[in-house]
Amino acid sequence: MKNLGNLLAVLILSILLMPTIGEAKQLFTDVGDQHAAKKEIDYLAQQKIISGYSNGTFGVNDSITRLQASIMLVRALQLPTANRPDPKLKDIPNTHSGYAMVATVVDAGIMTGKKDGSFAPYESLTRAQMASILVRAFQLEGQTDLAFRDMTATHWATRDVQTLYANNITTGYPDSTFRPNAAITRAHFSVFLARVLEPKFQLAKVCYTPAVEEKQVIDVAVTTLWSKPNIARIIDRPAISHPVDLASWTRQMTYQQKLGLLGKIDTQALYGQEVTILEEKDNWYKIAVHEQFSPIQKEGYPGWVPKSHVATQQANVNACDATIVTANKTLLRHLDGKPFREISFNTMLPVVKEDEKRIYVKTPTNGTKYIIKEDAMTIPSFEHLPKPTAENLVATSKQFLDLPYLWAGTSGYGFDCSGFTYSIYKQHGILIPRDSTVQATHGVAVAKKDLQVGDLLFFAHDRGKGAIHHVSMYIGNGNMIHSPDYSKPIEIIPITREPYQSQYAGARRYLAQ
């Protein structure tokens, strides 16, 4: 009876330890479920094209050797190895363990020996060699005008690399290079081979190509433009680090520390926004933000940012659709779902593809990521944003009620008064000047008795006759919405409230009627 009980216990334990239905078996100890190449490696293993090392690993990060590549190709093509002519390679005698495989790929015209008469079986395969070998082995065809930045038209492997691109086997690296001389790992070679053999692994057609002219773009969620370099305080480190942490920065500052930013910072720019570098000093760039009009700088609104906040975008994304973030903030995720970076309202990025729940975007320097669809809107370009109704402007502005004020702010982490009106209009495809003093001189002048929803209201010192110092947006019924100052968050108040009634200086209309 005791033995029966023990047997039953063992049986139950065995059942509990059995893999559940649908659980993916880990074939190699270094290829877990989260590995980027797991599906391709598992596919090749199931096809008996690859095998791992005796210690149970696949060696994903090991450079693949010429002999290992030969073996995989012979198996993938199911080439017979018997009775192949001697390749007459000085380092592959007929007693070599890889002789039959090497003789087969040489006889099939897939690989050749080196000029010195050797095969170099244990030499690492380069990415350029991989491209040529795959094109020859599988007789791939197709061409493209695409040119990777590090491969000239006269490079011996350029046409083969272009053929891989035309067959959706590669798109190169995020910086628009192919890195032809780099050794290719066993994992990467497996991915390329799987894409050749099985269409489901092939890459989707992409809308971007390597850029002929490089562009400078912002490479953090939000960068803050300072009036001078090297004037940030210790408390400001979250705003000048990489990555930035605007939420921590704004949360940690005391009221007095926030007031200390007045005159030190001027505006902000968002992830992916194009800028021009005007000058540099130490670890800082003076940049101009193209989308923010400034009368003092033709290239855009100027200011100093850490050099680490600016990156070179080598891809031409003009043919891509764009997505604009409509939520206050959203999370950009890696393809495996892990968080990558929180980004702000109004951030625009090129769209690679979409599915029912996700929008996949090309980041400036970190490849493809995704955001959830409910937090953004996809459009052909900024110019194609639907022109708003007055009600659209009001609805968008109200989603920021109670958001704390931030001097120079233009993001979902905080706005100043003109950053708020600028950002609300930008969300709807209308670019107005960045500063309130300039907003007050553009658009169409409107009498107070003729105010309409969406009009901007301006306020000045000396009972409305001095310098403009504040702007709000009229939302109807005698009310306005604004980002007042550090003492209050974004709010709705009557336009008759003091000191605003006494300081009223005029109104401007930017919304076409």
Q: Do the two domains 214-315 and 320-384 of this chain adopt the same fold?
A: yes
pLDDT for the residue 12:
36
Catalytic residue among 35, 417, 428, 442, which?
A: 417
Residue 35 annotated among the catalytic residues of the structure: no
pLDDT for the residue 212:
67
Length of the chain: 513
Q: Return the HEC string of 17-86.
A: HCCCCCCCCCCCCCCCCCCCCHHHHHHHHHCCCCCCCCCCCCCCCCECEHHHHHHHHHHHHCCCCCCCCC
Q: How large is the greatest C-alpha to C-alpha distance in the chain, in angstroms?
A: 101
pLDDT for the residue 162:
94
Catalytic residue among 35, 188, 309, 470, which?
A: 470
**Spans of all domains in the chain:** 38-204, 214-315, 320-384, 390-509
pLDDT for the residue 313:
86
Catalytic residue among 35, 188, 309, 482, which?
A: 482
Residue 442 annotated among the catalytic residues of the structure: no
Residue 470 annotated among the catalytic residues of the structure: yes
pLDDT for the residue 250:
96
pLDDT for the residue 25:
72
Q: DSSP letter at 388?
A: P
In 227-321, beta strands by DSSP E: 265-270, 274-281, 284-289, 301-306, 310-316
- Which CATH number among 2.60.40.10, 3.40.720.10, 3.40.50.720, 2.30.30.40 corresponds to the domain 320-384? 2.30.30.40
d(CA 349, CA 142): 30
Q: 390-509, which class in CATH?
A: alpha beta
d(CA 257, CA 250): 10
Task: Supply angle C-alpha 356, 357, 358, rounded to 5.
Answer: 110
pTM (2 d.p.): 0.76
Q: Following DSSP, what letter does each residue of 311-329 receive, concatenated?
A: EEEEEE-TTS-EEEE-SSE
Question: Over the chain, what is the mean pLDDT?
Answer: 93
Name the CATH topology of 214-315: SH3 type barrels. (2.30.30)
- Which of the residues in the chain have pLDDT under 50? 1-2, 4-23
Q: Following DSSP, what letter does each residue of 112-161 receive, concatenated?
A: ---TTS---TTSBPBHHHHHHHHHHHHT---------TT--TTSTTHHHH
Contact in structure between 358 and 370 (CB atoms under 8 Å): yes
